[in-house]
Structure 1
């Protein structure tokens, strides 16, 4: 466990194993320890890098609002800081981090060995908010976070909210994460604010990725896997299959599994990564 300063922000990073590099990027509001079930399956074969985005896990709050390009460059800067820049990396993006992982592959093609989108967010037509709301949404999110934090909501309800989220997104009962780490992370106002901030920018990041798809093609022959968790939703499966077709990717369904595939089916995640030769 270490901290790397990028853009003036201390990022919490955990590196395990040895071999070709694999970066695990978690979804909205999630932390490094959510990948714990996957790491033992990968570490004998890969150098596994887990990190907390600003305002997540143990990382400091963000200095600037998130963007698709900014998150892609964050991954590149993190690998540089760790001295893991000599060979391309496999990047795994879960949920909203699927946007970030795909952006990395498009903006840093020579540094990408493979791309795994793990029940990734999909926005074929990101919602177009009124211009005023687009401009003010981040400020409103930060104001809400400050108000809730001042009222002591994270300290009182943070771990319980985390437990409800996992219960609704996973087949694991109860949350398998260490309770002491859950309390350490989710009782903080930092994580509440970071989650609200990313959520407020969700539509803008999705729209930015659509533009990147037109301007920055994926490297020819890049191995791409869309590993989805339909969990009985035909509509979600159609959208995930459509994403795979658009990216020329291999489609797989992790079943049975909820949205938190890394908790429910770590074996499927590991297979998707290890299928790519290092």
Structure 2
């Protein structure tokens, strides 16, 4: 039987807080960090990065356990994820302010980065970011995290990540987009591992606690005077759920004093459906200030 073709590993690895993180840096100019939602990887930003690289230094990375990054010894927390962005930028030699783009769950991280590291933030773009109006986790954090870790361990022992991981990832992608997107080679290679399955389980388990951390942080740390853009996905339907989502995103923009824009036609994975809208939001955010760049053609 022939061995599967080994894919070349893009980027490099940097040890951040003792964890080897997979990082890609492309382009030149003002720094922009792209961070995906729950369980996502660097390659989800391929199209956006290609559009931004002529105008920005684009940094993509995999959170611990995801993509090609090693797992972390501790489950994720909001403050740790915000600090991870700051330490990654330091390790890359980018001490100045950076724009952070956060999609879905990573919208929490982008906002927390701005509040906890105001001197390091040039602006934030929230791409169909997660919103929790009054998060109240029902279980102690340790209980939910332990349960998620145990379930992930049992699933891995049964071989479920290898058998179902890539297919599950494809189903989620299709349900979260309106366009047709070919599978990425790394979907098959990465999402069949128990490492990624466990990381996804822990991110999901920690979600309500990260939401609660952000709600508390909003009361303790003011948002710095940086530009904010909120990009809402719109699939073109008039369903009550879609219209409510748009209003919630509009409300988030108002609460943060930011610009509101609609990305359409797009599902939740806006970077896949309309990468040009995400890239343009970044360029518009800082296009009138330091490092201004002409929009891409």
Report the equivalent of 2:232.
228
**Distance in 1 (alpha carbons) for counterparts of 2:142 and 2:184:** 38
Report the equivalent of 2:207.
202
Report the equivalent of 2:107.
98
**Distance in 2 (alpha carbons) for counterparts of 1:27 and 1:255:** 19
Structure 1 spans left out of the alignment, 5+ residues: none
The question of whether the paired residues in 1 share the 8 Å contact of 2:177 and 2:270 is answered with yes
Displacement of 1:49 in angstroms is 0.2
**Distance in 2 (alpha carbons) for counterparts of 1:269 and 1:130:** 36
- 1:1-278 equivalences under 5 Å are 1-85=11-95, 87-131=96-140, 134-173=141-180, 175-179=181-185, 181-220=186-225, 222-231=226-235, 232=237, 233-275=242-284, 276-277=286-287, 278=291
**Distance in 2 (alpha carbons) for counterparts of 1:25 and 1:61:** 17
Q: Tell me the alpha carbon deviations over residues 101-136 of structure 1, each in whole angstroms, 9 at most, x when there is no partner.
A: 0000001111111100000000011133044xx331
**Distance in 1 (alpha carbons) for counterparts of 2:71 and 2:119:** 30
The question of whether the paired residues in 1 share the 8 Å contact of 2:170 and 2:183 is answered with no
The question of whether the paired residues in 1 share the 8 Å contact of 2:25 and 2:60 is answered with yes
**Distance in 2 (alpha carbons) for counterparts of 1:5 and 1:130:** 33
- Helix, strand or coil: the match of 1:63? coil
Displacement of 1:177 in angstroms is 4.1
- Helix, strand or coil: the match of 2:47? coil
The question of whether the paired residues in 2 share the 8 Å contact of 1:91 and 1:114 is answered with yes
TM-score (norm 2): 0.89
TM-score (norm 1): 0.95
Corresponding residue pairs, total = 272
The question of whether the paired residues in 1 share the 8 Å contact of 2:137 and 2:212 is answered with no
**Distance in 2 (alpha carbons) for counterparts of 1:75 and 1:130:** 28
**Distance in 1 (alpha carbons) for counterparts of 2:60 and 2:271:** 13
**Distance in 1 (alpha carbons) for counterparts of 2:64 and 2:56:** 25
Runs of at least 4 residues off by over 6 Å: none
The question of whether the paired residues in 2 share the 8 Å contact of 1:88 and 1:113 is answered with yes
**Distance in 2 (alpha carbons) for counterparts of 1:52 and 1:177:** 19
The question of whether the paired residues in 2 share the 8 Å contact of 1:33 and 1:177 is answered with no
Range with bigger deviation, 41-50 or 54-63: 54-63
